[in-house]
Amino acid sequence: MANAPDLQFLAVGEGDDARNVAILARPGSGPAVVWLGGFRSDMRATKATALDDWAAEAGRAFVRFDYSGHGESGGEFTAGTISRWLEEALAVITAKTEGPAVLVGSSMGGWVALLAALRLKVERPDHAPAGLVLIAPAVDFTERLMWEALSEDARRELETTGAFLRPSLYGDPYPITRGLIEDGRKHLLLGGAIEPGCPVHILQGMEDPDVPWRHVLETVEHLPGEAVTLTLIKDGDHRLSRPEDIERLIAAVAAIA
């Protein structure tokens, strides 16, 4: 296992909205690979660490970070929104990479990666991604996989109190905030074509209870067909962290550029 780079912090936002985003950036050749983690995950989790080990061995630049309210970054989790986490992702990408990078997004990070690609190709074409590798991309999850799955009682509680504690398969219940749901509606992608402007490779487990593979097929339908590869893993779960899953992930990243 490679030694992790030194922990760095990047200031994002201003005034009361300022927060410090924790980053681990490994120098190396390009295109840099940037890890965009999932909802309630952190940059030292299995897949991100495995990619860092690969990058160290291959001499590739690799950047991973924690969204605010996650891992080693500042800020409160309950203040988190897609807008806020997207702002942090864009800040890290533009500050810590030189030119086009390969964005690797897991679960929520898949949605953030697509949003970042769409923004960068217009606002920072010098940083438009070289490619995307998406693991169980939870596109539009705040609406399609959260809000639409809530009972009427849960929706009422969220709208009345501002939050709802959602049970988790992976630990204690966690809060879904009204701010997260309402902000997510500003970033929905499944109502039209999604054109990130680069190749996309999606890895999806067919036994994923969190992001169903049929939801991901719908995402694929909105992406340009000539530049998209979908790998369905019949016995794969949501995390896709088994050794064979990690091998698939590394191969997909290495094949982009």
Beta strand 102-106 pairing with 131-135: parallel
- Contact (CB, 8 A) for 127 and 99: yes
Q: Is residue 80 part of a domain?
A: yes
Q: Is residue 165 part of a domain?
A: no
> By CB neighbour count within 10 A (0-12 exposed, 13-18 middle, 19+ buried), where does 245 fall?
buried
**pLDDT for res 182:** 97
pTM value > 0.85: yes
Name the residue range of residue 228's domain.
7-140+190-256
Domain count of the fold of the chain:
1
Q: Give catalytic residues, as residue numbers.
A: 107, 208, 238
Q: Is residue 237 part of a domain?
A: yes
pLDDT at 124 over 80: yes
Q: Which residues neighbour 151 within 8 Å (Cβ) at sequence distance 6 or greater?
A: none
**pLDDT for res 173:** 86
Q: Is residue 180 part of a domain?
A: no
Q: Is residue 194 part of a domain?
A: yes
Q: Is residue 210 part of a domain?
A: yes
The secondary structure of residue 188, as a DSSP letter, is -
Q: Is residue 207 part of a domain?
A: yes
- DSSP reduced 3-state for 170: coil
Q: Is residue 164 part of a domain?
A: no
pLDDT at 115 over 80: yes
Instruction: Measure the CA–CA gap between 237 and 239, rounded to whole angstroms.
Output: 6
Give the number of other Cβ atoms within 10 Å of residue 17's Cβ: 12
pLDDT at 1 over 80: no
- Residue 144: C-alpha distances to residues 22, 139, 163, 185 (Å): 29, 8, 17, 10
CATH number for the domain spanning 123: value is 3.40.50.1820
